[in-house]
Structure 1
Amino acid sequence: MDAVNRFCLEIALVLIIVMSNRSFFCCGASVNAENGMKKPVVPALIIFGDSTVDPGNNNNILTVIKSNFPPYGRDFYDKKPTGRFSNGKIVTDYIASDLNIKDLLPAYLDPTTRNQDLITGVSFASAGTGYDNLTATILSVIPLWQQVEYFKVYQKKLRGLVGEENATHILSEAIYGISMGSNDWVNNYFVNPIRMEQYTVQQYQNFLIEIASNFIQEIYSLGARRIACIGIPPLGCLPSERTLRGGLYQHGCIDEFNEASQGFNQKLISLVENMKKELVGVKIAYGDIYSILLDIIQHPHIYGFDEVGDGCCGTGLIEVAILCNIRTPFTCINASEYVFWDSFHPTQNVNKIIAHDLLRRKLGDLL
């Protein structure tokens, strides 16, 4: 070997040794330079909530609030309907991927969920549920208290898989997401004379916030230390609510619903600030999805969308869950042009924008 080649070889060996003993931070993710594999930013993602974050738990319960049939999942892997209320991925899939945890966040009740999936986190969410137990009862879905019970069983399974010390580490370093509240308004309060007689809008907001407060304290007592509280969207701008509340022809947003959303979100922000002071060692953040979704709705072309008033499925006015099915006529050809997939839920492309916005501007304090 001549001197030049020997010199080059020695330099290469030095670089390999140096790089193999260090990591570098790239695009918010820890990357191991030895093998090029990205390391998870946090060990697990654990989710509680409703259809916005349910990857298919409702497939395994007796309810009509399901989406495990076409055309749901039309743009998912293998065009498979999984129970996600979308043409493809939902927000938590993108967050799990962006944090380098895994490509998809699975449903806890999915019989195909593996032990490795439990170690890196699951979703306990149930489409149609809310903070108010009555909301879950109305739609025969999993109430929040039952999601907590599933979480307790999950913890026991996790300890059995990785041992007490590792489980404690995973549970304390995981990000916990809470995303619900929409159904409490559109499927309960505003259609339920009992609740409307019991509470004013402001009183019902306080009622829900009290439940949220108790829930946060409970999962904190169970080991949660990084908690994301996600607000609710501009409910008055959802195609279903525009249609059902007299907006079929003018198709404008319903101010009453948006004001209820804003009031609830403001109180959730106050709750988060209070929890920062009360809970020792907790990192807790408010995730604002109202602003980004409203901006997409008001300026769709900036984000690359053409249709904002109707959902892709069917007429786009009222079709959701079993009303959005393979026999539904007029379903759009290209969902990427639409803000909403059905009359209630965003398309995969909008979910991606929301997820990236949450991580970039809202949830950085948890990392």
Structure 2
Amino acid sequence: MEMTKLFLVLLLHLTLLSSFVLVSYSGYIPAIFTFGDSNFDAGTNRFDKNCTAQANFPPYGSNFFHQPTGRFTNGRTVADFIFLNGTQKEYPSNGLNFASAGSGVLPLTNKEMGVTPIQEQIRQFQTLIKQNKIDKNLVQNSLFLFESGSNDIFNFFLYETTTHTLSPDTYVQAMLTEVEKFVAHIYELGARRIALFSLGPVGCVPARALVPGAPLGRCYGKMNVLVKIYNMGLENLVNEILTKYPGAIGVYGAVYKLVQQFRADPKRYDFIEVSMACCGYGALGGTLQCGKEGYKICPKPNAFLFWDYFHPSEHTYHLISKALWAGKQPAIRPINLKALVNITLV
């Protein structure tokens, strides 16, 4: 219990960068609340000494912050860029980022690493509301971002022969059940603008070199099939929000499709490499985490689709954020994030 309280205090000091007991609303959203994994994590894990999933060492953060911040990339994430668009405030400003690198939608995913699963993330959010540290009017006018599931699916294949007894379809359904619970919970707490982002093509990450039997010359098709099944279920959940949760609206960010577009036409998006990690070591740069002893780094990180063995570069995140913020279908549907934050909800 005391560790949980300490973690909440540290989280507040980390991501709450001005008072968030706000009641005014002037056309832009007053705050963004973010939940998920390393694609969103802005440094949550580095304040938990018991967590081993870390990016609190160089060269993480080197191309924007010029120091490690706990983000698992060379600069900013999708959440950072969306925040800049959505709040019309200089970075950083109001909001809370509960995302924890290494976590999943299943509570046991990477539990041994000390990560914070989405179930605990939402409990932390609920605690702050009950303590009147987050105003309910603020919650209703804010934007909620969610992205998680990559670690669950990657682990399903990484440990397939040793730990999993569920069929792939049953496993994905268990994941979607947890996401459905999450959406119901944040709605109950006041969320009305809800954005769920699909997983990218996890079977294409350089870290697939760690998975027994995974091909190196192409993406791991079996893994991407499972990703697609999960993404289809996720979009179905989004489509149900309007009728199932009165007063709320959900949008679906098709990140998988965007990343595959980058891979199919690299030059159009200013990439010179879309398969290997810029920072890492071994096959595809995918067998050693960036920054660990023996790592190598490329001279132009933002010309690479992947920064490290699992995570995109800042340039990739920026491209994704632009498509989600102001893009058209099918990248973001039924409306984009810019429309979502300006829509009048009843």
Normalising by structure 1, we get a TM-score of 0.78
- Matching residue's letter, 2:41: D
> What CA distance in whole angstroms lies between the structure 2 residues aligned with 1:205 and 1:263?
7
Does the residue aligned with 1:122 lie in a helix, a strand or coil? strand
In structure 2, the partner of 1:148 is 122
In structure 2, the partner of 1:51 is 38
Cα distance, 1:325 vs. partner? 1.2
Identical amino acids, percent of aligned pairs: 30
Cα distance, 1:314 vs. partner? 2.9
Consecutive unaligned residues of structure 2, counting only runs of 5 or more, are: 1-25, 342-346
Greater alpha carbon shift after TM alignment, 49-58 vs 91-100: 91-100
Could you tell me whether the CA contact under 8 Å between 1:128 and 1:136 is conserved in 2? yes
Could you tell me whether the CA contact under 8 Å between 2:156 and 2:164 is conserved in 1? no
Alignment root-mean-square deviation, CA: 2.1
> What CA distance in whole angstroms lies between the structure 2 residues aligned with 1:148 and 1:200?
28
Cα distance, 1:64 vs. partner? 1.7
1:130 to 104, 107, 110: 104
Deviations 1:288-337 (A, max 9, x none): 100001111222111011011111113352256xx321643431111121
Bigger fraction of residues in helix: 1
- Matching residue's letter, 1:175: L
In structure 1, the partner of 2:10 is none
Whether 1:76 and 2:81 are equivalent positions in the alignment is no
Greater alpha carbon shift after TM alignment, 182-191 vs 342-351: 182-191
Whether 1:100 and 2:87 are equivalent positions in the alignment is yes
Greater alpha carbon shift after TM alignment, 128-137 vs 324-333: 324-333
Pair 1:285–1:271, CA change in 2 (3 A):
same
> What CA distance in whole angstroms lies between the structure 2 residues aligned with 1:175 and 1:156?
19
> What CA distance in whole angstroms lies between the structure 1 residues aligned with 2:214 and 2:163?
24
1:60 to 42, 47, 52: 47
- Matching residue's letter, 1:137: K
1:216 to 183, 196, 210: 183
Deviations 1:159-198 (A, max 9, x none): 457xxxxx2221001010111000011124641457631x
Deviations 1:122-157 (A, max 9, x none): 100000001101104143201212111210233256
Could you say which structure has the larger radius of gyration?
1
Pair 1:193–1:70, CA change in 2 (3 A):
same
Greater alpha carbon shift after TM alignment, 239-248 vs 170-179: 239-248
> What CA distance in whole angstroms lies between the structure 1 residues aligned with 2:53 and 2:171?
24
Pair 1:64–1:324, CA change in 2 (3 A):
same
In structure 1, the partner of 2:233 is 267
> What CA distance in whole angstroms lies between the structure 2 residues aligned with 1:366 and 1:195?
41
> What CA distance in whole angstroms lies between the structure 1 residues aligned with 2:256 and 2:123?
29
In structure 1, the partner of 2:169 is 202
- Matching residue's letter, 2:254: D
Whether 1:291 and 2:257 are equivalent positions in the alignment is yes
Consecutive unaligned residues of structure 1, counting only runs of 5 or more, are: 1-38, 106-116, 162-166
- Matching residue's letter, 1:133: P
Could you tell me whether the CA contact under 8 Å between 2:64 and 2:74 is conserved in 1? yes
> What CA distance in whole angstroms lies between the structure 2 residues aligned with 1:121 and 1:329?
34
Q: Give runs of aligned pairs for residues 1-367 of structure 1, distance below 5 A.
A: 41-61=28-48, 62-77=50-65, 79-104=66-91, 117=93, 120-156=94-130, 159-160=132-133, 167-188=135-156, 190-193=158-161, 196-197=164-165, 199-242=166-209, 244-246=211-213, 250-315=216-281, 316-319=284-287, 323-325=289-291, 327-361=293-327, 362=332, 363-364=336-337, 365-367=339-341
Could you tell me whether the CA contact under 8 Å between 1:172 and 1:223 is conserved in 2? yes
Cα distance, 1:245 vs. partner? 4.7
Could you tell me whether the CA contact under 8 Å between 2:210 and 2:287 is conserved in 1? no
> What CA distance in whole angstroms lies between the structure 2 residues aligned with 1:304 and 1:45?
30
> What CA distance in whole angstroms lies between the structure 1 residues aligned with 2:127 and 2:110?
21
Deviations 1:75-109 (A, max 9, x none): 122x110000000001100000112344546xxxx
Cα distance, 1:247 vs. partner? 5.3
Cα distance, 1:252 vs. partner? 0.5
Cα distance, 1:244 vs. partner? 3.3
